[in-house]
């Protein structure tokens, strides 16, 4: 288990408000449903099964209230958004935006208490690494009123955010993030376009022939590699829908230059790593690794209005991986173990109902000379670290499974090769049958002659026969040597 109480949303394809950040390994954004009973939400959300305890206490309080023993306030469910950068091993709330359109944060973020960002919907693209566009609001929880939402953008995979448009919007990412198109929910007769990651927006109105229509849908290719977007138009005066094609390539006049020199002043590209925003003070430059590797991406600079798509770059052309030394955070909990809190340094502890692994029982249940005894950890899925901290299961010797007796037990155990056991069994049967037949023949000869003396007579006769045979061989040898008789 990596996350509990994931929000279920009607209308989503799979119903769960959790999505991977496309193109960034191990990064997820999820919404959780938190029971608000006036308690500290930040403390209760950081514990596994904390919600279940709150629910039990709420039911108990409601039962007491029904008996007239106490009064109780009905709990409400609030939605909050979280980010994981290591395949769900640790989760953190989204930080409040650092940039606001009004120049200062809203009043809700100036009051006492933490101010976080919560998203109702978000989208990302593997062809635009690190770029996330989300619709939501700051505060303690996600607002249930869509008119309270605004458009926010992050260029470092959700670590930092900025507000770029006020009000709810439908957004699409085009061609490696070169262009963003948005449709405002309050005025769905215009299309907004940005070529600098939301810094500035251009307005494109519908043609006069479509003036009575509103934009009811905005679609683009799932790969986000071209500049084409589809607009679905609807009207109250006609049935059905009209689909228009919007080509944003005309907004950018030239092709991007020098991707091989990314990071230099003359190049239109930059090098970026998801760990850049997580490093200790930038003067230290301590490398931060995610999923056991340090990943660098090549992407277009936000302030360079050029077309990346003309270079035909694939997502694999945009990244480079370097392995890191393993640390404790690279190890997840093994089956039967869990972390009691969501912090990154929390230890894996066994579930109360799960017995601890026993070396004697493991050895009894196998014929192998060695078994693997878990320490409560296993490598996180997709982790590619090397060396460093090793929390893998320990290899232990089973003394009872070593030696000749253990070899025979392995030979005839159910885990051994069935064909090998069958062949060995048939071979033993054949030896026993041959021995019994030979024994019966010997006893039969003795009984037919009637006495041991008879047997001795046969032995002497055999010796005489052997002697006469030797004489015959000598005569034959002389006959062959004598050439006159030929």
Q: What DSSP string describes 187-220?
A: -TTEEEEESSTTSS-EEEEPPGGGTT-EEEEEEE
Q: At what angle do helices 404-411 and 418-449 cross, to 10 degrees?
A: 100
Place of tokens 């069994």: 425
Is residue 174 classed as helix, strand or coil in its secondary structure? strand
Counts for the chain of helices (H) and strands (E), in that order: 6, 26
pTM of the predicted structure, to 2 decimals? 0.68
Give the mean pLDDT per block of 10 residues along the chain (486 residues). Answer: 83 81 89 76 54 54 50 70 84 89 84 83 90 94 92 92 94 92 90 93 80 84 86 83 88 88 89 69 55 86 85 69 85 84 77 78 77 84 86 84 69 57 75 76 51 50 48 48 46
d(CA 226, CA 246): 11
Q: How many residues does the chain have?
A: 486
Give me the residue spans of the domains in the chain.
18-245, 259-323, 330-411, 418-483
d(CA 107, CA 18): 29
May I ask the CATH class of domain 330-411? alpha beta
d(CA 482, CA 163): 124
pLDDT at residue 198 in the model:
93
CA dist 17 → 20, 156, 242, 368 (Å): 10, 21, 30, 45
d(CA 130, CA 194): 17
d(CA 338, CA 376): 8
Query: How many Cα neighbours within 13 Å face the side chain of 300?
Result: 25
pLDDT at residue 446 in the model:
46
Closest CA relative to residue 393, chosen from 379, 403, 407: 379
Cβ neighbours of residue 357 closer than 8 Å, sequence gap 6 or more:
373, 374
CA dist 110 → 79, 104, 116 (Å): 21, 10, 12
Closest CA relative to residue 224, chosen from 169, 178, 168: 178
pLDDT at residue 335 in the model:
84
Mode of pairing for the β-strands spanning 269-272 and 242-247: unpaired
d(CA 83, CA 130): 13
Q: Distance between alpha carbon 218 and the CA centroid of its chain, in Å? A: 30
Query: How many Cα neighbours within 13 Å face the side chain of 129?
Result: 24
**Whether 131 contacts 198, CB under 8 Å:** no
Is residue 302 classed as helix, strand or coil in its secondary structure? coil
Cβ neighbours of residue 152 closer than 8 Å, sequence gap 6 or more:
97, 117, 119, 133, 134, 135, 136, 161, 162, 163, 164
SS3 of 331-365? EEECCCEEECECCCCCCEEECCCCCCCCHHHHHHC
pLDDT at residue 287 in the model:
59
pLDDT at residue 142 in the model:
92
Query: How many Cα neighbours within 13 Å face the side chain of 76?
Result: 8
pLDDT at residue 366 in the model:
76
């Amino acid at each position: 288990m990596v996350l509990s109480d994931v929000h279920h949303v009607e209308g989503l394809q799979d119903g769960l408000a959790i999505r991977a950040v496309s193109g960034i390994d191990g990064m997820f954004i999820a919404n959780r449903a938190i029971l608000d009973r006036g308690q500290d939400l930040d403390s209760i959300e950081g514990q596994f099964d904390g919600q279940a305890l709150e629910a039990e206490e709420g039911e108990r309080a409601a039962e007491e209230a029904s008996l007239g023993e106490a009064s109780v306030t009905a709990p409400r469910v609030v939605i909050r958004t979280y980010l994981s950068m290591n395949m769900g091993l640790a989760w953190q709330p989204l930080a409040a935006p650092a940039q606001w359109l009004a120049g200062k944060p809203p009043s809700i973020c100036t009051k006492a208490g933490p101010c976080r960002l919560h998203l109702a919907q978000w989208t990302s693209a593997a062809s635009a690494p690190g770029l996330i566009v989300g619709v939501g609001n700051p505060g303690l929880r996600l607002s249930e009123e869509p008119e309270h939402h605004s458009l926010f953008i992050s260029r470092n995979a959700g670590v930092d955010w900025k507000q770029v448009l006020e009000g709810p919007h439908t957004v699409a990412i085009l061609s490696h993030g070169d262009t963003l198109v948005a449709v405002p929910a309050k005025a769905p007769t215009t299309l907004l376009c940005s070529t600098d990651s939301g810094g500035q927006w251009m307005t494109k109105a519908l043609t006069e022939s479509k003036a009575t229509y509103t934009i009811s849908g905005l679609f683009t290719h799932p790969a986000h590699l071209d500049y084409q977007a589809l607009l679905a138009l609807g009207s109250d005066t006609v049935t059905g829908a009209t689909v228009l094609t919007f080509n944003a390539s005309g907004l950018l006049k030239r092709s991007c230059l020098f991707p091989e020199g990314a990071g230099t002043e003359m190049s239109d590209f930059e090098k970026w790593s998801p760990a850049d925003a997580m490093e200790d003070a930038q003067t230290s430059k301590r490398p931060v690794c995610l999923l056991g590797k340090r990943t660098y991406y090549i992407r277009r600079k936000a302030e360079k209005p050029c077309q990346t798509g003309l270079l035909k770059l694939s997502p694999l052309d945009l990244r480079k991986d370097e392995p890191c030394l393993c640390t404790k955070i690279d190890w997840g909990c093994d089956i039967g173990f869990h972390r009691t809190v969501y912090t990154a340094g929390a230890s894996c502890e066994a579930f109360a109902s799960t017995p601890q692994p026993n070396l004697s029982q493991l050895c009894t249940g196998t014929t192998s000379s060695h078994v693997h005894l878990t320490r409560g950890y296993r490598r996180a899925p997709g982790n590619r670290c090397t060396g460093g901290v090793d929390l893998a299961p320990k290899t232990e010797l089973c003394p009872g499974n070593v030696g000749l007796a253990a070899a025979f037990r392995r030979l005839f155990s159910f885990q051994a090769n069935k064909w090998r056991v069958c062949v060995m069994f048939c071979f033993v049967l054949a030896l026993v049958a041959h021995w019994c037949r030979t024994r019966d023949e010997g006893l039969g000869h003795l009984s037919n002659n009637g006495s041991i003396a008879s047997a001795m007579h046969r032995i002497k006769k055999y010796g005489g026969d052997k002697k006469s045979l030797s004489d015959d061989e000598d005569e034959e040898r002389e006959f062959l040597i004598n050439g006159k008789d030929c």
